[in-house]
Structure 1
Amino acid sequence: MKTVSTPGRRDFLKKSAALLALSSLGTLSTGFIGNTNPIKVAVIGTGWYGKSDLFRLLQIASCEVVALCDVDRKQLEEAAKLLAQRQPQASPPQLYKDYRELLRNHTLDITIIGTPDHWHALQTIAALESGSHAYMQKPVSVDVLEGEAVVAATKKYGKVVQVGLQRRSTPHLIEAKQAVIDTGKLGKIAAADIFCYYHMRENKTKEVQKIPDYFDYDFWTGPAPMRPYTGLPHGLHWRSFMEYGNGITGDMAVHMLDAVRWMLDLGWPHTISAKGGVFVQNTGQSNTADTQTAVFEFTHVTVNWQHRTWGNPVDPEYPWGFKIYGEHGMLAGSPFKAEFIPYPDGAIQVFDCLYEREKYPEDLTEAGMEIHAAPATRRHFQYLLEALRSNNEPNAPIYSSHISTASCILANLSMDLGRPLSYDPSNKLVVNDPEATKLLKRSYREPWVHPSGKYQ
C-alpha cells in the first residue's frame, strides 16, 4: 500500500533533502543521519516509553523538540529536565497538558504518541489531522473499529504512521528471517507458538486516594471508563485493567504475533478462538486475564498463543517469544536472541542480540532502559525516516499493525464470548455473529467521541 504524496509530505521531503542515503531495508544499521534541517518533533505522553522513544530518535537525527505534553505535571517537568540534559544548547520545548492545544499551536514533522493504550487511536488521528506524521506506540487501538479508523485517517491525510512493533527492526531477528525463513531452511511451515510467561500483572487491592493537584485524572482517563482513583496509574497499574488496554494479549502477544506474521508474510487470520480468565491471581483488583490460550488460524499455518502471569515458563530460555516449526527444524526467537534448531539433528545456528553500549553509552544510565531493545527502536525510527524520504511505507505500517492489534482484541472477545470468531475486514463485522460485531466498538465516556463515526 503506497501512501499518497501531499503538500505536508513534500515540505518534509524538502526539509530532509540532506538526509544521507540509508542502507537497504534488510540490513539497516543506525548512525547519525546528519540532516541539515532539524526534524520538528513533539511527544504526547512523557512517561517511560515516551521519553525512551524520543531519546532513541535524538541519537540518530537532528531534531527540534518543540513541545512535550502530559497530564502529570511532575512527569512532564521531569521529561523537560532530562531533555535539557540531552540537548543543552537547544531551546526548551513548550509544555502542555492538553494534546489538542499542542497540535493546534505547532507545525510538526513527527508526533510521538507515548500515552497508555486507551489514548493511542484518538491522539494519532489528531496528529494526522494536524498535518503531522506519527510514531505511535503499540497497540494501534483498544477496539477493532478504533484501529479501522486510524487506518482510514492515515489514508485520508496521506501521512506515514510507524507503529512501535519493533521486532520487525530487531537486528538479530532480521538476520534470522533472512538466513532461515527466506532461504527455506525450515521447509514447509505449518505451525508456530507465541507466548509470554512474565509476571507482569499487578495483583493488589488499593484504597481510594485523593487525586494530587499535579495530576489530571479525568483527562488521563479520557474516553475510558472512570475507575476510582487508587494512586498514580503509571507503569504496571494501568496495564492491569481492561478499561485501559487489551490485557497481556494486547500488550505482549501483539509483538510476537506481528513478528510471526512478518516473518511468514501472513495477513488476517480466518478464525480466532481463545479461552482463559483470572484463575490464580484473583485476590487483587486487576481484571486482566492471568491465564490465556488462543489460536490464530491462517491458511496453512496455525499460531498458538499462551500466557500465564504465574508459575514457570515452559522454556526458561524463552519466557517471551515465538517458535516457528517447519518440517526441517524450528526457529525460536525473542528480543534477546534467536536460534535455528534443525531436525532431526545438525548444528544449531545462533543469532545473538546486538547491543550498542559503546556506540551509545548514554543508554547505560537511562532510567528504566531496555538496553536490548534500544538498537531496534533506533532502527525503527530510521525506517520511518527512510519511508518519509522515499515516499513509501515504513516497515511496521499502519494496516499490518492494525491486523496484529485487532487479532489480539478478537482473541479477548472470543475468550469472553466462549466461541470462535471470524472477522470480515471488508465489511467490518464478525461473520454470522451480531453480538460479537457490537463488541468491535467500545463505549466512550463523554464528551469524547469514538472516531469510527468520522473515519470508516
Structure 2
Amino acid sequence: MRNNRRKFIQQVALGAAGISLGNINSAFSAKSYARIIGANDRLNVALMGCGRRVSAYYAALKDKNNNVDVAYICDVMKKQREKVGRDLQGKVTGNAKLVNDIHDVWNDKTVDAIFNATPDHWHAPGTWMAMQAGKHVYIEKPCSQNPREGELLVAFQKKYGKVVQMGNQQRSAKESQDIISEIHKGVIGDVYKAVAFYSNERGEVPIEKKAPIPEGLDWNLWQGPAPHQEYTADTWDYNWHWYGWHWGTGETGNNATHELDVARWALQVKYPEHVYVEAAKRHFKNDGWVMYDTMDATFQFPDNKVIQWDGKSRSGYKTYGSDRGTIIFGSEGSVFVNREGYTLFDRAGKKIKDSKSKGSEAGNTLGGGGDMTDTHVANFFNVIRGKETKLNSPIEEGAISQMMCHYANISYRINKSFKIDTANGHILDKDGMKLWGREYEKGWEPKL
C-alpha cells in the first residue's frame, strides 16, 4: 500500500512538472521528488521597506505564474506601509499584515522569502538576520554598506544555504545576456576595457539639522543596526543617501552598482589590482549634500584589463548619448549596452547590429521597475522552488561587483589610490582598511 502511494505521488509530481515517469528510481533522488512537489507550493513573501523601490515588485507579486502570497508589509513609517497596503489590496493574494517591526516577520516560520528594500545600512544586516530566521532574500543594491558586510553576506549564505539574489536586475535582461554571451564567444575580439557611466540632474539638498521625529516614524528601528543618534531632517525619506557615510554609500553605491556589474560581467574579471579615483562636490556648493557628486574612477585588472566609471549625480549632460550604460571595447569592435538593449560596432566604428528591448525598464527614474525586475524576481522564485538551477545574480557575484563601489568610495575618503590583493579583495593600504567595516549599535553586531 505504501509503495503504491509513493508511486502515485511520483506520477502526480512528474506529470505536473511535464516529465515522463520512465525509470524513475534511476533518474531522481528523494530530494528531486520533494523539489518537484515543492514547485507547486505557494510561497509566502514579506516586503521589508516600503519606500520608492517597493512598487517595482508589484507586477511580479500580482503575476499568478509566480504563485505567491503576500504575508507581511513591513515599514518603520506608518504612512508608507499603509500606502503599500492600499496599493496591493485586492490585487495580490494572501492576508498581508501591516507591521512596524521586522522581527515579527523573522519570527513567523510560515514566511519563505523577504524583499529587502530598506536604506543601505539595513541591507546586509537585514539580509543575514533573515537568513538566520530561515528566509530566502531578494536584497536590493547595494548589498552592503561597507566591504566587510559583503564578506559576511557570502559567509552567511554559505552557512544557511538560502537563496539570496541581489537586485542588479540587468543580469536578467535578455538583450544583456545575449550580447554578454556573444562577447565571451569573441564577437568583438579580446575585450580589454569597459566604460560604465551614469548621469542625473539631482537638485539642491536641504542642510541636515536636528528636528522632531516625523509622526508615524519609528526612528530607533529606522536606524536599526547603525549606531543611534538624534533625528535630523530631512534624513529618513531619501536624503540619507547624501548625508554622509553613517547610512549610505554615495551615488557610486546607489547606482554604479548596476553598470560596474555589467562591465565586470563582460570582461570576466573579479578583483582589480589598483584603484584610482578623482571625485568632488561640484554643484550647489553650500547645500546639505556632504559627499562627492561627481566621480571618475579607474580600476586596473590583471591581464591589462581596465574598467572606468564616470558618475555625474547633478549634471544631466549625456556624455555617451544616454543617461546610463556600459561601453565594452575589444580588439575587433565595441558594444554599447544599457537597459534598452545593445548596439554592436566593428573596429572601424560601423554599426553592425542594433538590438533594442521591448521592455519598460530604463533610465534613472527613482524606484524604477519594469520587465527586467519582473524577470529577476521570477528567477529568484524559481530557484527557491527548484524550477531553475541558476540564480542570475547570486550574492557571491553581487558582493564582488559591490566591492568595486566600496573601493571607489574608500579611495575618495582617504584621498589616495591603492592596490588590491586580488586573492581576497582586501585593500593593501592601512588607511583604506580602517574603512573596511563599521561599528554597530549594541545588540545588532553580526553573529556568524
Whether the TM-score (by the shorter chain) exceeds 0.5 is: yes
Secondary structure of residue in 2 paired with 1:315: coil
Q: Verify the 8 A CA contact 2:242 2:290 in the aligned structure 1.
A: no
- Please say if residues 118 and 142 of structure 1, whose CA atoms lie closer than 8 Å, have aligned partners that are also in contact: yes
Partner residue of 1:405?
A: 402
> Aligned equivalents of 1:109 and 1:207: distance in 2?
40
- 1:264 offset after TM fit, Å? 2.5
Which of 329, 335, 339 pairs up with 1:331?
Answer: 335
Written as runs of structure 1 = structure 2, the 5 A alignment for 1:422-441 is 422-424=419-421, 429-431=426-428, 433-441=429-437
Could you tell me which amino acid in structure 1 is paired with residue 314 of structure 2?
W
**How far off its partner does 1:107 sit?**
2.7
Contact 1:16-1:36 at 8 Å conserved across structures: no
Match of 2:81 in 1: 76
Residue type of the partner of 2:410? L
Deviation at 1:426, TM superposition (A): 5.6
How is 1:243-262 mapped onto 2 (pairs within 5 angstroms)?
243-262=246-265
d(CA) in 2 for partners of 1:296, 1:423: 10
Alpha-carbon offset, residue 447 of structure 1: 4.4
Q: Which moved more, 1:106-115 or 1:309-318?
A: 309-318
Match of 1:153, SS state, is helix
Give, in angstroms, the shift of residue 383 of structure 1.
2.0
Equivalent pair of 2:192/2:306 in contact (CA under 8 Å)? yes
Amino acid at match of 1:17: I
Residue 377 of structure 1: which of 373, 377, 384 is its match? 373
Aligned mate of 1:166, from 130, 144, 169: 169
Letter in 2 for 1:444: Y
- Give the Å deviation of 1:235: 3.5
SS of residue matched to 2:89 = helix
Q: Which structure 1 segments of 5+ residues have no match?
A: 1-9, 20-34, 357-367
Match of 2:66 in 1: 61
Q: Secondary structure at the residue paired with 1:318?
A: coil
Correspondence list, 1:358-373, <5 A? 373=369
1:126–1:211 distance in 2 versus 1, CA, 3 Å: same
1:352 aligns with 2:349: no
Unaligned stretches of 5+ in structure 2?
1-28
Cα shift at 1:50: 2.4
CA contact (8 A) 2:379 2:388 kept: no
1:186–1:326 CA contact under 8 A, matched in 2: yes
Shift of residue 54 of structure 1? 4.8
TM-score (norm 2): 0.84
Mapped contact 1:424–1:430 kept (Cα < 8 A): yes
Residue 152 of structure 1 contacts residue 455 of structure 1 at CA under 8 Å; is this kept in 2? no
Per-residue deviation, 1:39: 0.9
Q: Secondary structure at the match of 1:267?
A: coil
* Aligned equivalents of 2:349, 2:320: Cα separation in 1: 22
What is the CA–CA distance in structure 2 between the aligned matches of 1:273 and 1:447, rounded to whole Å?
37
1:86 and 2:102 aligned: no
CA 1:316 to 1:266, structure 2 compared with 1: closer, same or farther past 3 Å? closer
- Report the CA distance shift for 1:409/1:384 in structure 2 as closer, same or farther (over 3 A): same
Shift of 1:57: 3.8
State yes or no: 1:442 paired with 2:445: no
Paired-residue identity, %: 25
- Aligned CA RMSD, in angstroms, stands at 2.8
User: Matched residues in 1 for 2:376 and 2:332: separation?
Assistant: 31
On the 8 A contact 1:52/1:369 being kept in 2, the answer is no
Contact 2:57 2:369 in 1 (8 A): no
The amino acid across from 2:88 in the alignment is L
Change (3 A) 1:218 1:372: closer
Q: Are the structure 2 counterparts of residues 422 and 232 from structure 1 closer, same or farther at C-alpha, using a change threshold of 3 Å?
A: closer
Match of 1:396 in 2: 393
CA contact (8 A) 1:40 1:64 kept: yes
> Residue 435 and residue 262 in structure 1: after superposition, are their counterparts in 2 closer, same or farther (change >3 A)?
same
1:320 aligns to what?
A: 324
- State whether structure 2 residue 414 is matched by structure 1 residue 417: yes
Report the Cα distance in structure 2 between the residues aligned to 1:428 and 1:345, rounded to whole angstroms.
36
Secondary structure of the residue aligned to 1:17 is: helix
5 Å-filtered alignment, 1:264-283, equals: 264-283=267-286
* Alignment of 1:100 onto 2:103: yes
- Residue 215 of structure 2 is aligned to residue 213 of structure 1: yes
Distance 1:190 1:177, change over 3 A: same
Q: 1:17 aligns with which of 36, 45, 51?
A: 36
Distance 2:289 2:114 in 1: 31
Shift of residue 335 of structure 1? 1.6
CA contact (8 A) 2:240 2:247 kept: no
Q: How far is 1:210 from its partner?
A: 2.2
Higher mean displacement: 369-378 or 306-315 = 369-378
1:227 CA displacement = 5.7
- Give the residue type in structure 2 aligned to 1:191: K
CA contact (8 A) 2:114 2:135 kept: yes
More displaced 10-residue stretch of structure 1: 347-356 or 241-250: 347-356
Q: Which moved more, 1:214-223 or 1:118-127?
A: 214-223
389-398 or 134-143, larger mean C-alpha shift: 389-398
Letter in 1 for 2:373: T
Q: Does structure 1 residue 295 correspond to structure 2 residue 298?
A: yes
Map Cα deviations across residues 120-148 of structure 1 (whole Å, 9 max, x no partner). Answer: 01110011011111111011111111111
**Deviations 1:14-35 (CA, angstroms, capped at 9, x unpaired):** 776368xxxxxxxxxxxxxxx6
State the distance in 1 between where 2:206 and 2:214 align. 21
